[in-house]
């Protein structure tokens, strides 16, 4: 058991915000116009598809495009590996005892799951992250020992389920004085290779609640959080010190309007719950943005399970990356501008990062 908690250096980090635009799907190519212009690797413009505005805009000399700047902007031709290149140094902090959160935010069908999970030919950020964590551990030439474990949960209709359990019951959140918010009873499996996590990820994904909606054939109806913990044991003269880093990879469910998806019954109720937690997340992002500008504002983390789980990643001890995913199709204009507005506000969020380490008695 830990004895003395060693002093930790504290730094302020700004939330890193990237925007990824997916290509038009075959279906969309036949009926939609492409309204996203990636200006360069940091700037993106959205063209207003409402052509009726043309005359008014012209006489008032208003531009018909909205421009936004982010840490990184990825054009439709970019792969997940291109996105990962810029976040890999942050992810590797986990091996040094840092907490890292990466989450994808965007409307239904905008490419969140594709970005986080990916495909065989274009592996997503989850797969790329745990591959580099194990590569880094293999390359480490110190005498430190490493222990990696993994958990995978989903929040569906405001209930938490363990995706690594065949038939998971409802899990509850608890506040732990040492570790912050924890999910009581969540299975944490020790893993020795990236392939093992990939296997667990695939099992978990097959249990995830997905539905076919009009907006996306395999729409995720739950928020999924894959957590990888790395415990690094350093042997010293007087005992062992353990650094504990945590990587949380979050694939959120898509937000959609009932009218757009033609949902009813259970699907409509799912949509309402998805929107409830995404609204709670958006409110937290709003409040955190204001807090860092004006130094006030109450942040309503307690309004949903999702925001309680992500609390550390948004404001606490974590380096955090938000990937805002957008569709280039003109009929997604309002979703796209909403996503970009929230992403723009998220740039103001600051977190306070420090390594977590404890001194252990030699016998540990």
Detail the residues annotated as belonging to a binding site for ATP: 106-113
114-118 contacts, C-beta under 8 A, 24 or more apart: 114/22, 114/80, 114/325, 115/20, 115/80, 115/83, 115/323, 115/325, 116/249, 116/250, 116/251, 117/201, 117/205, 117/251, 118/80
- Min dist. Cβ of residue 208 to ligand ATP (A): 10
| Residue 113 sits in the site that holds ligand ATP (CB under 6 A) | yes
Judged by CB under 6 A, the residue of 93, 97, 109, 204 near ligand ATP is 109
Selected range binding ligand ATP among 31-39, 53-61, 106-114, 282-290, rule: CB under 6 A: 106-114
| Number of shown-chain residues binding ligand ATP (CB under 6 A) | 18
> Which residue pairs, CB below 8 angstroms and at least 24 apart, start in 82-90?
83/18, 83/20, 83/115, 83/125, 83/323, 84/125, 84/128, 84/129, 86/18, 87/16, 87/18, 87/125, 87/321, 88/128, 88/129, 88/132, 90/16, 90/319, 90/321
Footprint (CB under 6 A) of ligand ATP, residues 297-356: 325
Min separation Cβ 213 and ligand ATP, Å: 7
| Contact of 326 with 106, CB cutoff 8 Å | yes
Cα-based distances in Å from 238 to 145, 178, 256:
17, 23, 56
d(CA 164, CA 233): 26
Which of 220, 315 has the CB closer to ligand ATP? Answer: 220
CB-based contact 154:190 (threshold 8 Å): no
The verdict on 111 binding ligand ATP (CB under 6 A) reads yes
Question: Of 16, 108, 304, 336, which lies in the binding site for ligand ATP, with binding defined by CB under 6 A?
Answer: 108
- Which residues are known binding-site members? 106-113
Q: With binding defined as CB under 6 A, does residue 25 bind ligand ATP? A: yes
**Which tokens hold the place of 88?**
């890999």
Structure tokens at 333: 């204009």
User: How do 240-251 and 357-360 pair as beta strands?
Assistant: antiparallel
22 contributes a contact to ligand ATP by CB under 6 A: yes
Looking at beta carbons only, is 219 or 318 nearer to ligand ATP?
Answer: 219
Output 17 or 148, the one with its CB closest to ligand ATP: 17
Least distance between ligand ATP and beta carbon 180 (Å): 27
* Residues in 233-272 at the binding interface with ligand ATP, rule: CB under 6 A: 253-254
- At 238 the three-state DSSP class reads coil
State the minimum distance, in angstroms, from the CB of residue 41 to ligand ATP. Answer: 16
Distance of closest approach, residue 110 Cβ to ligand ATP, in angstroms: 4
**C-alpha–C-alpha distance, residues 130 and 201, integer Å:** 11
Between 170 and 209, how does the x/- string for binding to ligand ATP read (CB under 6 A)?
----------------------------------------
Nearest to 329 by CA among 101, 12, 24, 15: 24
68, 114, 357, 360: which one binds ligand ATP (CB under 6 A): 114
23 in contact with ligand ATP (CB under 6 A) = yes
- The 212-231 site mask, x for binding ligand ATP (CB under 6 A), equals ----x-xxx-----------
Is position 134 an interface residue for ligand ATP (rule: CB under 6 A)?
no
Contact 3, 364 (CB under 8 A): no
Binding site for ligand ATP (CB under 6 A): 22-23, 25, 106, 108-114, 216, 218-220, 253-254, 325
């Amino acid at each position: 058991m830990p004895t003395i908690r060693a002093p930790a250096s504290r730094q302020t980090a700004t939330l890193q915000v990237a925007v990824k635009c997916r290509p038009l799907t075959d279906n969309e190519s036949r009926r939609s116009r492409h309204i996203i212009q990636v200006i360069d690797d940091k700037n993106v413009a959205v063209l207003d598809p409402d052509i009726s505005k043309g005359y008014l805009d012209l006489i008032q000399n208003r531009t018909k495009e909205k421009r936004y700047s982010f840490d990184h902007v990825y054009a439709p031709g970019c792969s997940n590996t291109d996105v990962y290149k810029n976040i890999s140094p942050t992810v590797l902090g986990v091996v040094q005892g840092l907490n890292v959160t990466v989450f994808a935010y965007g409307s239904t069908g905008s490419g969140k799951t594709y970005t986080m999970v990916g495909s065989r030919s274009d592996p997503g950020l989850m797969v790329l992250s745990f591959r580099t964590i194990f590569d880094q551990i293999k390359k480490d030439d110190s005498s430190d020992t490493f222990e990696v474990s993994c958990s995978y949960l989903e929040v569906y209709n405001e209930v938490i389920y363990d995706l690594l359990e065949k038939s998971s019951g409802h899990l509850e959140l608890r506040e732990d004085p040492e570790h912050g918010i924890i999910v009581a009873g969540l299975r944490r499996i020790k893993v020795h290779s990236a392939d093992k996590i990939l296997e667990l990820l695939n099992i978990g994904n097959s249990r995830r609640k997905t539905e076919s909606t009009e907006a996306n054939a395999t729409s995720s109806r739950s928020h999924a959080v894959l957590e990888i913990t790395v415990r690094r044991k350093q042997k010293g003269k007087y005992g062992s010190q353990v650094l504990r880093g945590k990587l949380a990879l979050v694939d959120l469910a898509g937000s959609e309007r009932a009218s757009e998806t033609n949902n009813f019954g259970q699907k409509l109720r799912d949509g309402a719950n998805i929107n409830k937690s995404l609204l709670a997340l958006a409110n937290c992002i709003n409040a955190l943005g204001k807090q860092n500008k004006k130094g006030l504002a109450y942040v309503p983390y307690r309004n949903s399970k999702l925001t309680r789980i992500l609390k550390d990643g948004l404001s606490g001890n974590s380096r955090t990356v938000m990937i805002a995913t957008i569709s280039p199709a003109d009929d997604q204009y309002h979703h796209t501008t909403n996503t970009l507005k929230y992403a723009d506000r998220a740039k103001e969020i600051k977190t306070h990062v420090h390594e977590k380490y404890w001194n252990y008695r030699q016998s540990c």
